[in-house]
Each structure stands twice: as C-alpha cells, then as structure tokens.
Structure 1
Amino acid sequence: MADTVLALKDATLSLDGNAGRIEILHGISLDVTRGETLALVGPSGSGKSSLLMLMGGLERATSGSVTALGQDLTEMNEDALARFRRDHMGVVFQSFHLIPTMTALENVATPLELAGEKDAFDRAGAELKAVGLSHRADHYPTQMSGGEQQRVALARASAPRPEILLADEPTGNLDETNGSAIIDLLLGLRDRHGATLVMVTHSMSLAARCDRTIRLRDGRLDLPAHAEAAE
C-alpha cells in the first residue's frame, strides 16, 4: 500500500473579510503519497494557494482534518506548526521571501541554524553549488536577478532535506527561460532528496511534468483534472 504523506479529509477554509465570512475551500479530501509530484491547477481565485497553505499548516482548516506525516496539523498550536515545518517541510513562494539583509549563503543557512545543525554553512554552500550559485554566496538579494533569487529560495527550502516540498507558483515572477531552469532544479532537488512535491502552477507544461494533476474550481476539487482545460 502506498505511503500517504499528506491527507486532507473534508477540509474547509473560511476567512472573515470586510464583507463578512468568505468560504474559500469546500470539503477537500485528498491523499498525496510519498515521493509523488502533484500539480495544483485552476483559474485564479480557485483556491490553489489556499489549499497549499493548508497542507503546510500556514492556514488552519476551519473544519475537517489535515494530516502530514501522520501528524494532525489542525491540532497543533502555532509553535508546534513552526517546528514541524522546520523539521519536515520546505516552502517556496512566488515572491522569493529572502531576507534582504542576509547574503545568499546566510539565507540558505538560516533554517539549518534554527534546527541546530553544526555544519549549517557547509551544507548551505553545497546547496548553493547544487543550484549553480556558488559565485553568488556573498551577494545580497538586491544584487541578484529574479531567477537567481528564486534559486537561492530553492536552495534554502531544500537545505534541511525536507520530506515535503511545497511550491506556490515558483515560476510566476520569471521569464520562460528562467522559469524552465527553476523547474529543472526543483525536480532535481526532489529527486536528490526523495521529497514529495506539491506545486501550484498556471503552467500546463510544468503540470505535465508532474505525476498527477489536480484541478480546483470555486474552492472545490474538479475531478478528473483535464490539463488542457486549466487556465
């Protein structure tokens, strides 16, 4: 039987806005197995990023359950969730989220230092080398291109050897050439560390490189997913 890494059971997400309560996700049930690469596709506003945030414990389900590596994220407090992400997850955002006052090497070493790794900078240097940025180790984010910043973000996410990699539109701010290079690196990091990868994307060429594609529409799973219909 396949080893389930992420499991959502009737998960819903509601948030309070100026116009009242907004229902974002409706009764999501989904299993992701170890080593799988899953693409989340659908129109803007369909709930793709919100679903990814539930998987990472960055949003808390209003009802239902979200389980990662056998742990119920909905039962954890914020400190426990932060520790769980530190120890088991890597997250890559569209807007990079690098620390502007830190060099590339320091950015990549940060999660390792927080985890108490004694060889944090050696491992950070190895990850920068893996994404082709050894020569940028002492540069700050503002001194790097968008593609380079995203490669640093990938190195930072993969440095702790996470079991789960979550990527939210990792090529959204990049041109086609840089975007393609980032995907090659992301899939390579997945293969090198044996991580399970869940990725939000509008790119159907990217989705086609994943093991499975799930489409969302209006906060619900739209199954079966037809790649050619995604927007």
Structure 2
Amino acid sequence: MTHNVLSLSGARLALDGNAGRVEILHGIDLDVAKGETLGLVGPSGSGKSSLLMLMGGLERATGGQIIALGQDLTAMSEDALARFRREHMGVVFQSFHLIPTMTALENVATPLELAGHRDAFDRAAAELEAVGLSHRADHYPSQMSGGEQQRVALARACAPRPEILLADEPTGNLDGSNGAAIIDLLFGLRDRHGATLILVTHADDLATRCDRVVHLRDGHVAPQDRAEATPREAAT
C-alpha cells in the first residue's frame, strides 16, 4: 500500500483583498506519496504557489483538510505549525531569504541550533560542502552571487534532513546556467536525503524531471491529473 506523506481533501483558500474576498483554491484533492517528486505547473495566478504554501502550513486553509505525515495541519496552532515545519520540512523560495548579517555558515546552522541540534555547525558545513560552497562559508549574502545565495538557501533547507522538501520557483531569479545548476543540486540533495520533493515551476522541461506533474488552472486541479496515477501506484 502506498504511504502518503501529504493528503489534501477539499482544501480551499480564500484571501481578503481590496476588491473583497477572493477564492484562490477551490476544493483541492491531492495525495503525495512518500519519496515522490511532484511538479506543480500552471499559468500565473493559477494557484500553484498558494497550494505549496498550504502544503507547508505557511497559509491557513479556509476549508477542507491537509494531513502531513499523519498530522492535521488545519488543526494546529501557529506555534505547532512552526515546530512541525522546523522538524519535518525544508522550504526553498524564489527569493533567497538569507539573513544579511549572518555568514553562509551561520545562515545554515542557525535553524539547526534553534531545533536543538548540538552538531549544528558541523552539519551546516557538510551541507555547504554538498552544494560546493565550503570556500564561501564565512562570506555574507552581499558578498555572494545570486546563484551562490540560492545554494546557501538549498543547504539551509536540506540541513535538517526533512521528510518533505518544498521549492517555489527556485530558479526564478537566476539566469539559465545558474538555474540549471541549482536544479541539479536540488534533485541531488533530494536523492541524498530521500525526501519527498514538491516543486512549483513554470518550466515544462523542469517539470518533466518529476515523477508526476499536476496542472493547476484557476485554482482547480486540471481534470486529467485527478485520475493520473503516480509511477509507484501504477506499478502496484
């Protein structure tokens, strides 16, 4: 039997804006299997990034249920959600979100320290080595290129060895060659740690590297994807 690390049942998201309440996601049903790589694609405004935020507990669902690793995210307090993300999830954004007053090593090690890992700096150093940035460990974000900053962000996301890795347009602020290198690193780190990877992208060639692709349109999962089995499900 397939073990799902994420299950969404009727998940909805509505946000209040200047024009009133706007429905972003409309009753999403979606399961993600352990170890799967899932690509979320769709035009701008289709809801793919919002769906990723729901999966990571970074946005509150306004309807339905989201189960992650057997835990109901929709029933958790903000503090509980923060602890859950820290212990079980890694998140990579289009913008790097590095702390400018911390070195690369400190940016990677600090979340580990907050989680109580005594070997935080050793693990951070190992992750920086894995993304080819050992020589930049003592540099600040302003001293690094965009590609190098995203590598630090990848190391930070993977250092806790999360079961679930979420990436939202991780190459959006990079040129083609740097973007390709980041994607190779992202999939390599995912393989190294055995995490389930969920990737938001607008690039079809990148999406095809995933085990499964889900298309979003106007806040809905496209009909053909609802009945589409993952390679693991098809093999069972």
Offset at 1:135? 0.3
Correspondence for 1:124: 124
Offset at 1:18? 1.1
Correspondence for 1:213: 213
Q: Cα deviation per residue 1:140-188 (whole Å; 9 max; x = unaligned)?
A: 0010000000000000000000000000000011111011100110001
Q: For residue 140 of structure 2, what is the amino acid of its counterpart?
A: Y
Q: For residue 164 of structure 1, what is the amino acid of its counterpart?
A: I
Offset at 1:46? 0.3
Gaps spanning 5+ residues in structure 1: where? 226-231
Give the 5 Å matches for 1:132-211: 132-211=132-211
Q: For residue 59 of structure 2, what is the amino acid of its counterpart?
A: E
Number of residues paired by the alignment? 225
Q: Secondary structure at the match of 1:224?
A: helix
- Measured in 2, the distance between the counterparts of 1:131 and 1:164 equals 19
Offset at 1:50? 0.2
- Measured in 2, the distance between the counterparts of 1:48 and 1:161 equals 24
- Measured in 1, the distance between the counterparts of 2:59 and 2:87 equals 18
- Measured in 2, the distance between the counterparts of 1:151 and 1:42 equals 25
Residues 1:3 and 2:3 aligned together: yes
Q: Secondary structure at the match of 1:162?
A: coil
- Measured in 2, the distance between the counterparts of 1:3 and 1:174 equals 35
Offset at 1:111? 1.2
Correspondence for 1:109: 109
Residues 1:26 and 2:44 aligned together: no
- Measured in 2, the distance between the counterparts of 1:209 and 1:51 equals 20
- Measured in 2, the distance between the counterparts of 1:99 and 1:201 equals 25
- Measured in 2, the distance between the counterparts of 1:84 and 1:165 equals 13
The alignment's TM-score, normalised by the length of structure 1, stands at: 0.97
Q: Secondary structure at the match of 2:224?
A: coil
Q: For residue 186 of structure 2, what is the amino acid of its counterpart?
A: L
Verify the 8 A CA contact 1:167 1:199 in the aligned structure 2: yes
Runs of 4+ in structure 1 off by over 4 angstroms are: none
- Measured in 1, the distance between the counterparts of 2:18 and 2:177 equals 40
- Measured in 2, the distance between the counterparts of 1:66 and 1:101 equals 36
Correspondence for 1:57: 57
- Measured in 2, the distance between the counterparts of 1:127 and 1:223 equals 40
Gaps spanning 5+ residues in structure 2: where? 226-236
Q: Cα deviation per residue 1:169-212 (whole Å; 9 max; x = unaligned)?
A: 00011111011100110001110000000010011111010000
Q: For residue 68 of structure 1, what is the amino acid of its counterpart?
A: A
State percent identity of aligned pairs: 80
Give the 5 Å matches for 1:69-80: 69-80=69-80
Q: Cα deviation per residue 1:93-140 (whole Å; 9 max; x = unaligned)?
A: 000100011000000001110111001000000000000000000000
Q: Secondary structure at the match of 2:121?
A: helix
Correspondence for 1:13: 13
Q: For residue 183 of structure 2, what is the amino acid of its counterpart?
A: I
Q: For residue 28 of structure 2, what is the amino acid of its counterpart?
A: I
Offset at 1:224? 2.0
Q: For residue 171 of structure 2, what is the amino acid of its counterpart?
A: T
Correspondence for 2:229: none
RMSD: 0.6
Q: Secondary structure at the match of 2:223?
A: coil
- Measured in 2, the distance between the counterparts of 1:131 and 1:28 equals 35
Verify the 8 A CA contact 1:214 1:223 in the aligned structure 2: no
